[in-house]
Amino acid sequence: MHLGQIAEQTPDKPAVIMAGSGRVITFRELNEESNRLARLLYAEGLRPGDHIAFMLENHPLFLAIAWAAQRSGLYYTAISSRLQPDELAYIVDNCEAKVFITSKTLEPAAGAIADRAPGAGLRLMLDGTAPGFLSYEEQVAGQPAEPIAEEREGADMLYSSGTTGRPKGIKPALPLTEMGTPGPLYQLISLLFQPDADSVYLSPAPLYHAAPLRYCLNLHRFGATVIVMEKFDAEKALEAIQTHGVTHSQWVPTMFIRMLKLPAETRARYDTSTLRAAVHAAAPCPAPVKEQMIEWWGPVLHEYYAGTEGNCFVYTDSADWLAHKGTVGRPILGEVHVCGEDGKELPAGTPGTLYFGNGPVFEYHGDKAKTDASRDPWGHGWSTLGDVGYVDEDGFLYLTDRRSYMIISGGVNIYPQEAENALAVHPKVADVAVIGVPDPEMGEAVKAVVQPQSMADAGPELEAELIAYCRDQLAHYKCPRSIDFRADLPRHPTGKLYKRLLKDEYWKNATA
């Protein structure tokens, strides 16, 4: 449905509620704010196909800014608020943004734009100003609250999280359909999760990530209220479910793990019975974690495997998962091909690189080499996200790991996800990464880097305990030979682990 129609029918209904501050943005306010910004962008000369970028924390006006671009036929790039100035400037310049919006909170990084991304001529700042920026509030306030004359659907152009090098901009085809025209994701959400105008959607992750951003905007199209957590906290998430009667939500597995590790009496304190669909994605979920979540919340868990690239959508509900534990489901969009190095498709149960055919086509903006590298080299026109997995006899897909994370030790291929899944559920482990480190005899050795629940436990005794625990569940060659302990691991808020940073550190030290 058109945002303006919803605002007309239910003007005072909350469209956005900030879980921490309690600030409410009604549908009328959301509609008018996005219209004013759309008017400003039009007055600045932006037309369908042009580009804006914004870097914000989970700000109350985040979704209004996205809606302004969406209803103007523009491309819009939401940028991680954790980036350093050089990384930020690279994205703003690479996406060819004509407008850049940020907040006073993020001034230290945002200050880089003026000198390093000169193409962003209009620079706006919320909640204050800084050199090179105009006040967002002042610039928008003078614009009419009515929509621009010819509204058209725009599209996000988001960047990969950069876990394996420079972020890649994923540029889809611009819809330019009449504003209010449902897209494929809206139809998938409607089919699988069945939200309606009475739904309440909890978004506990950073809004700049693809899934939170896209799902929040699409839930608005149903007339649903979106609850935005400023920052994830395990107990506060449970509190938000109870306080707001949350019906739909989306998570990453690390959030499940942190909620499960709350004291039993804390978990029992909150009523989660309103949940109808708890969706999770972004990273593999250890089977014991998912089993416990289904036991706790009931068969309301839904999982999908997809990428920002949009070339596939693989899905499973709780019933299918319980019958095929560990699966990420069967393809709904795109057909899966499991291939060996020679390009031949592999039989059921045999891991190989995952390619998808007959799905949407994407490109990495301004980088033909990266686009070409994402296609199969045998001329079928299939595309890959770089993951390894296999399909069982019933057509259910199982992820093994990222191809780039594979460890080769003594000529044996080891995928570290298995060891990570085993160690993640140990009661003394808060977070874990398993990587390959240099070994003069084996080439690479399996090492775990663990964030313990308490750094007071870190030491040889816990190391021995965790190695033994892993060996009780997996073949010994898959388990870490050594463990290092750290107070924090470099994990993206969306749940992805920056293994590249850890690996680079160990290999650099070895070279030195």
Relative to beta strand 429-439, strand 412-414 is unpaired
- Residue 72 — very low, low, confident or very high, per pLDDT cuts 50/70/90? very high
DSSP state of 152: B
Question: Are the C-beta atoms of residues 427 and 464 closer than 8 Å to each other?
Answer: no
- Residue 284 — very low, low, confident or very high, per pLDDT cuts 50/70/90? confident
- Residue 493 — very low, low, confident or very high, per pLDDT cuts 50/70/90? low
CA distance 2 to 16: 17
- Residue 497 — very low, low, confident or very high, per pLDDT cuts 50/70/90? confident
Mean pLDDT score of the chain: 92
The helix/strand/coil state of 410 is coil
Higher pLDDT among residues 409 and 218, named by residue: 218
| CATH code given to domain 27-181 | 3.40.50.980
CA distance 214 to 175: 15
Question: Are the C-beta atoms of residues 70 and 77 closer than 8 Å to each other?
Answer: no
As its CATH architecture, domain 335-404 has Roll (2.30)
Domain ranges in the chain are: 27-181, 335-404, 406-511
Of 248, 243, 255, 252, the C-alpha closest to 220 is: 248
Question: Are the C-beta atoms of residues 207 and 63 closer than 8 Å to each other?
Answer: yes
Higher pLDDT among residues 80 and 275, named by residue: 275
Residue 411 has pLDDT above 50, yes or no: yes
CA distance 195 to 224: 8
The helix/strand/coil state of 71 is coil
Q: Which residue has the tokens 């980088």?
A: 367
Per-residue pLDDT tens digits for 164-174: 457 889 999 99
Write down the pLDDT at residue 406. 77
Question: Are the C-beta atoms of residues 227 and 246 closer than 8 Å to each other?
Answer: yes
Which range, 28-37, 109-118, 360-369, 399-408, has the best average confidence (pLDDT)?
28-37
Select the CATH number that applies to the domain covering 406-511 from these four: 3.40.50.1370, 3.40.50.1820, 3.30.300.30, 2.130.10.10: 3.30.300.30
What are the backbone angles phi and psi of residue 363, rounded to the nearest 5°?
-140, 155
Q: What angle do CA 212, 217, 219 make, to 5 degrees?
A: 90
- Residue 492 — very low, low, confident or very high, per pLDDT cuts 50/70/90? low
Write down the pLDDT at residue 164. 46
Supply the pTM of this predicted model: 0.85
Mean pLDDT of 332-341: 93
Amino acid at position 115, single letter: D
3-state helix/strand/coil string of 335-390: EEEEECCCCCECCCCCCEEEEEECCCCCEECCCHHHHHHCECCCCCCCECCCEEEE
340's tokens: 């060996």
Q: Specify the length of the chain in residues.
A: 512
Give burial (CB, 10 Å; 0-12/13-18/19+) of 298.
middle
Residue 496 has pLDDT above 70, yes or no: no
343-347: Cβ within 8 A, 24+ apart: 343/376, 343/377, 343/378, 346/390
Mean pLDDT of 402-412: 76
Per-residue pLDDT tens digits for 429-481: 999 999 999 887 778 899 999 999 999 999 999 999 999 999 998 889 899 99
Mean pLDDT of 226-253: 97
The helix/strand/coil state of 471 is helix
Q: Range with the lowest mean pLDDT among 25-39, 252-266, 314-328?
A: 252-266
Residue 225 has pLDDT above 90, yes or no: yes
Residue 29 has pLDDT above 90, yes or no: yes
Residue 508 has pLDDT above 90, yes or no: no
431, containing H or E segment:
strand 429-439
Write down the pLDDT at residue 511. 55
Q: Helix 62-70 crosses helix 27-43 at what angle (to 10 degrees)?
A: 60
Residue 65 has pLDDT above 60, yes or no: yes
Question: Are the C-beta atoms of residues 136 and 161 closer than 8 Å to each other?
Answer: no
Question: Are the C-beta atoms of residues 414 and 442 closer than 8 Å to each other?
Answer: no
Mean pLDDT of 242-258: 94
Write down the pLDDT at residue 163. 45
Question: Are the C-beta atoms of residues 279 and 311 closer than 8 Å to each other?
Answer: no
Question: Are the C-beta atoms of residues 147 and 4 closer than 8 Å to each other?
Answer: yes
Q: pLDDT above 90 covers what percent of the chain? A: 73
Residue 213 has pLDDT above 90, yes or no: yes
